[in-house]
Amino acid sequence: MKFFTSLLLAVQAGIHCALAQDDTVIYTDKASGIVFNTWAPSPSVTVGLALPSNALTTDATEFIGMITCQGKGWCGVSMGGGMNENLLLLVYPQDGAVLTSLRWAENYQLPGVYTGDAKLTQVSSTVNSTHYSVIFRCKNCFQWQQGTSEVGKVSTSEGYLVLGWCFATASPSGGSCPNTLTVQQHATQGLFAAPLTDAVVHSEYSAWAAKATLVVTGKC
Ligand code: HEM
Ligand SMILES: *[C@@H]1O[C@H](CO)[C@@H](O)[C@H](O)[C@H]1NC(C)=O
């Protein structure tokens, strides 16, 4: 825990540099018109966010996200940075679709299914020979509760997030059903700072969120 606290302090110190030399790339999805602030913490993983218009003053509980990853394996993000005791999102291509699974870990082993009330719906997804990508709304994903005691959140009003990412080249086992699949440990992982500026909040947020109508469940 002591190590983790000093890690967080180190990351937070790093954020001030990140703020000074913001590596955000703005990306507009042509089909939906949704505008994302994106970060590429690895050449294999790009994460995008669009936030509700008041997210810099009132902590947002939801977001519109984009995750684009290389290859045909799986990748993931942690809403709170570290793998453990934060809401995790696992993403992978399956039969031309992109499937997702919300997960929760208490230790560095295969995370179980998240049992809180978060809800993910897709705007769109693409799979091609080199990448898979999904645009989605994640409701109740900036706060979490697993069971009765494990509660946490991030604060968008603080002006930055520390997110975690991971990347695997091997496909999940049993990937046709997102919540029963298993994975082996990712090949690469890390934390990254996402500075939240005026560019990440949008007056169009509600209209964009309404486009996330696809419930993509796989075959379970
Ligand atoms: C069998 C499955 C998994 C195993 C054995 C595993 C194991 C580990 C280990 C050992 C680390 C620390 C690596 C280091 O510091 O060198 C780590 C980090 C990480 N993992 Fe996993 N992992 C698994 C699945 C997942 C999944 C499904 C996600 C997200 C969807 C995830 C997200 C992360 C993140 C964001 C980190 C970096 C932050 C941290 O060190 O806490 N992992 N994992
Ligand atoms: C495949 O998808 C990725 C991510 O969406 C995109 O950057 C890339 O240009 C696409 N490649 C082809 C050949 O269409």
pLDDT for 3 beyond 80 = no
Q: What's the 199 CA to ligand 1 centre distance in angstroms?
A: 30
Q: Which residues contact 73 (CB under 8 A, 6 or more apart)?
A: 92, 167, 168, 169, 170, 171
The count of residues in the chain is: 220
The ligand 2 atom nearest the CA atom of 130: 1
Q: pLDDT tens across 84-115, in order? A: 999 999 999 999 999 999 999 999 999 999 99
Q: What is the pLDDT of residues 23-70, one digit of tens each?
A: 899 999 999 999 999 999 999 999 999 999 999 999 999 999 999 999
Closest CA to 95 of 67, 139, 125, 65: 125
Among protein residues, the one with the nearest Cα to ligand 2's atom 7 is 131
Q: Rounded distance, CA 162 to CA 154, Å?
A: 9
Separation of CA 50 and ligand 1 centre (Å) = 25
Which range (14-18, 167-171, 211-215) has the least confidence? 14-18
- CB of 108 closer than 6 angstroms to any ligand 1 atom: yes
- pLDDT beyond 90 at 22: no
Atom of ligand 2 nearest to the CA of 128: 1
pLDDT of residue 149: 82
pLDDT digits (tens, 9 = 90+) for 176-210: 999 999 999 999 999 999 999 999 999 999 999 99
Q: How far is the CA of 219 from the centre of ligand 2 (A)?
A: 26
Secondary structure E strands in the chain: 25-28, 35-42, 45-52, 63-70, 74-78, 88-94, 97-104, 112-113, 119-127, 131-139, 143-146, 150-153, 160-168, 188-195, 201-202
Per-residue pLDDT, 12? 52
- Alpha-carbon span 29 to 19, nearest angstrom: 25
Say whether pLDDT at 11 is over 90.
Answer: no
Q: Where are the alpha helices (DSSP H) in the chain?
A: 2-20, 205-209
- 90 Cβ inside 6 Å of ligand 1: yes
Residues 112-159: tens digit of each pLDDT: 999 999 999 999 999 999 999 999 999 999 999 999 988 999 999 999
> How far apart, in whole angstroms, are the C-alpha atoms of residue 99 and residue 118?
16
What would the pLDDT profile of 59-89 be if each residue is shown by its tens digit? 999 999 999 999 999 999 999 999 999 999 9
Model-level pTM?
0.93
* Residue at token pair 């509760």: 145
Centre of ligand 1 to C-alpha 189, Å, is: 7
DSSP 182: B
Nearest to 142 by CA among 77, 188, 72, 220: 77
> Which residue, judged by its Cα, is nearest atom 14 of ligand 1?
189
How far, in Å, CA of 54 to CA of 69, rounded? 29
